[in-house]
Amino acid sequence: MLPLQSATPLPDRISGLLGLGQFGVPGELLAGLLASALVATFVLLNTAVAGPWAKRKITASFTDRISVNRIGPFGLGTIVVDSVRLLSKELIIPERVDRPAFDLAPLVLASSALLGFAVIPMGNGIQVADPEIGLAYVFAIASIASLGLVMAGYASSNKYSFLGGLRAVAQNLAYEIPLVLTGVSVVIFAGSLQMSEIVAAQEATLFEVAGVAIPQWFAIVNPFAFGLFLVANLAEVGRNPFDIPEAPTEIVAGYQTEYSSVYFVLFYLGEFIHIFLGGAIIATLFLGGPAGPVLPGIVWFTIKIWLVFLLTQWCRSAVPRVRIDQLITIGWKGMLVLSLANLVLTAAIVGVIA
C-alpha cells in the first residue's frame, strides 16, 4: 500500500517520474501544471457525477421516485447528455448587465472553489502543495466565492439577483467566522496550520475497542466542534436549511437568475465544487483526511467527501429553510458564541494537558 502521506509533494514526484527536473523552472512549472490538472480532473469528475446524476438519484430515493435511468447503466449516460444539453443552450445576456462583472462572476465562483483543493491532502501523496499556512489558505480562497456571488447579484441588473447577492454576503459573513473559529480549535489540537500536519495529528490511536484502534479523529475527540462545523459548512455552501441566497420559492433563483447556458453551468459546477471543498475541509480537519483501513487513501477521501455531499442532499429533503433574519440571528448570536466558547474551552483543555 502506498503511504498515506508523502514528504514530497505531487509536482515533485511527477517531475521525478517524467524526468522534468533537468529543465529547470519550465520543468517545474510543467510538473506543477500536470499535478494541478490531475487534481482538478479528479474534483471535476466528482462534480460531474454529482451534478447531473447523483443529486437526482439521491433526491429521487428520498422522494420514492425512480429518476434518470434511460441512458447507460443506472442512467449514468445522462451526465454526458446533460452536459451537451446545457452547453448547447443559448447564452442570453440581458440588456444593461454590468458586463465584465457579469462575465467574471461564474468564473470567480468556480475557480475559487477549485483552487482550494490545491492544499488538500487526498491520500496516496496526492497533494499539489503543502504550505505551512494551508488551512488559512483554504478558508481564504473559499471565501472569495462570496465575491463572485456579489458580482453576479449586482451585475445582473435584476432585483431578485440583487436580493440574492445581498443575502449571500450577509450569510457568508455570518457563517465564515464561526467556521474559521471552529477550524482554529482543531489547529490548537494539531498545533499546525499545515494540512499534512493536521492529518498526521489525527493518526494516533485515541483508545482501543475490542482490539480495533480508534484513531484520534477530531470528530471523535471533539464532536461538538464537528457539529458546529457541519452546520456552519451547510450555510457556507448555501444548502438547506440555509439555502436562502437561492431560495427559488422566494427570490426565484437569487444571484443566478439571469444566467444561462455556459455561465449557468459554471455556477452549477462552482456550487458543487464548493460542496465538495466543504466536504474536503471537513474530512481533513475532523475525519482524519484520507485515513481509513484496507482501502487506499484516495478512496477513503472520496467516500468522506461524498458523505458530506449526501448530508447536504438529505437536509434538502427534510429541513425547512430559515428566514433571513433568523439566519443572521442564528449566525451571530448562536453559532458565533458557541464557536467562541468551543475555542476557549479547547485552548484551556489543550493548555492544561500540554
Partner 1 sequence: MIGVLKSMATTMKHALDGNTFTVEYPEEAPEVSPRFRGVHKFSQERCIWCRQCENVCPNDTIQIVTDDQRNGEQYNLHIGQCIYCRLCEEVCPVDAILLTQNFEFTADTKDEFAYNKEQLKNVPWYKDIDPLASREPDRGAWIGEGDGEIDYQ
Partner 2 sequence: MSLEQPEPPTGGDEVGVTADGLDYDELAALVGDNVIDREQHVNAEGFVIRPDAVQDTLSTLRNEAGFDHCSAVTAQEYDDRFESIYHLKKFDDPTQQLSVVVPTTKDDPVSESAEPVFRTADWHEREAYDLVGIDYEGHPDLRRILLPETWQGHPLSKDYNQNQPQVVPLREHANPLEEDHSAGEDSDTMFVNIGPHHPATHGVLHVKTVLDGEQIADIEPDIGYLHRCEEQMCQQSTYRHQIMPYPDRWDYTPGGILNEWAYARAAESMADITVPEYAQVLRTMSAELTRICAHLLALGTFGLDVYGDFTAIFMYAVRDREVIQNLLEDLTGQRLMFNYFRLGGVSWDLPEPREEYLEDVRDFIDELPERLEEYHDLITGNEIFQIRCIDTGVLPPEVAKNYGATGPVARGSGIDYDLRRDDPYGYYDELDWDVVTQDGCDNYARVLVRMREVEESAKIISQCVDLLEEWPEDDRDIQANVPRTLRPDEDKEVYEAVEGAKGELGIYMRSDGTDKPARFKIRSPCFSNLQTLPEMSEGEYIPDMVASLGSLDIVLGEVDR
Tell the smallest beta-carbon distance from residue 233 to partner 1 (Å).
16
First to last CA, the chain: 34
Closer residue to partner 1 (CB): 1 or 318: 318
Alpha helix ranges (H) inside the chain: 10-18, 25-49, 55-62, 78-87, 99-116, 134-142, 144-155, 159-190, 195-201, 218-221, 223-237, 248-251, 261-286, 297-318, 324-329, 336-353
Tell the smallest beta-carbon distance from residue 65 to partner 1 (Å).
5
Torsions phi, psi for 76 (to 5 deg):
-65, -25
Tell the smallest beta-carbon distance from residue 44 to partner 1 (Å).
27
Q: Of the ranges 32-40, 186-194, 245-253, 264-272, which one interacts with partner 2 (CB under 8 A)?
A: 245-253
Q: Is 22 in the site for partner 2 (CB under 8 A)?
A: no
Closer residue to partner 1 (CB): 62 or 100: 62
Q: Is 73 in the site for partner 1 (CB under 8 A)?
A: no
d(CA 108, CA 114): 10
Q: Is 326 in the site for partner 1 (CB under 8 A)?
A: no
Closer residue to partner 2 (CB): 304 or 316: 316
Q: Is 59 in the site for partner 2 (CB under 8 A)?
A: yes
Q: Residue 298: name the closest of 97, 61, 124 by CA.
A: 124
Contact pick of 317, 323, 333, 337 for partner 1 (by CB under 8 A) = 317
Contact pick of 208, 320, 352, 353 for partner 2 (by CB under 8 A) = 320
Tell the smallest beta-carbon distance from residue 326 to partner 2 (Å).
6
Give the burial string for 50-87 (b: 16+ CB within 10 Å, else e): bbbbbbbbbeeeeeeeebbeeeeeebbebbeebeeebe
d(CA 13, CA 28): 11
Residue 69's binding partner out of partner 2, partner 1, none, with CB under 5 to 8 Å set by partner kind: partner 1
**Residue found by looking up cell 494541478 in the block:** 36
Is the peptide bond preceding residue 121 cis, with omega within 30 degrees of 0? no
Q: Is 319 in the site for partner 1 (CB under 8 A)?
A: yes
Q: Is 306 in the site for partner 1 (CB under 8 A)?
A: no
Report residue 321 as a C-alpha cell.
429553510
Report residue 331 as a C-alpha cell.
449566525
- Are 114 and 273 contacting, i.e. CB atoms less than 8 angstroms apart? yes
Which amino acid belongs to residue 15?
S
Tell the smallest beta-carbon distance from residue 319 to partner 1 (Å).
6
Q: Of the ranges 108-116, 235-243, 279-287, 299-307, which one interacts with partner 2 (CB under 8 A)?
A: 235-243
Residue window 31-70: x/- pattern of binding to partner 1, with contact defined by CB under 8 A: ---------------------------x-xxxxxxx--x-
Q: Of the ranges 63-71, 98-106, 133-141, 220-228, which one interacts with partner 2 (CB under 8 A)?
A: 63-71
Closer residue to partner 2 (CB): 99 or 323: 323
Applying the rule CB under 8 A, the residues between 157 and 186 that interact with partner 2 are 159-160, 163, 167
Q: Which residues pair with 214 in a beta bridge?
A: 207
Contact pick of 3, 326, 333, 344 for partner 2 (by CB under 8 A) = 326
d(CA 118, CA 205): 28
Complete DSSP assignment for 208-277: EETTEEEE--HHHH-HHHHHHHHHHHHHHHT-TTS-TTT-HHHHTTGGGTT--HHHHHHHHHHHHHHHHH
Q: Is 250 in the site for partner 2 (CB under 8 A)?
A: yes
Give the binding site for partner 2 (CB under 8 A): 59, 62-65, 159-160, 163, 167, 240-241, 243-244, 247-252, 313, 316-326
Give the binding site for partner 1 (CB under 8 A): 58, 60-66, 69, 314-315, 317-319
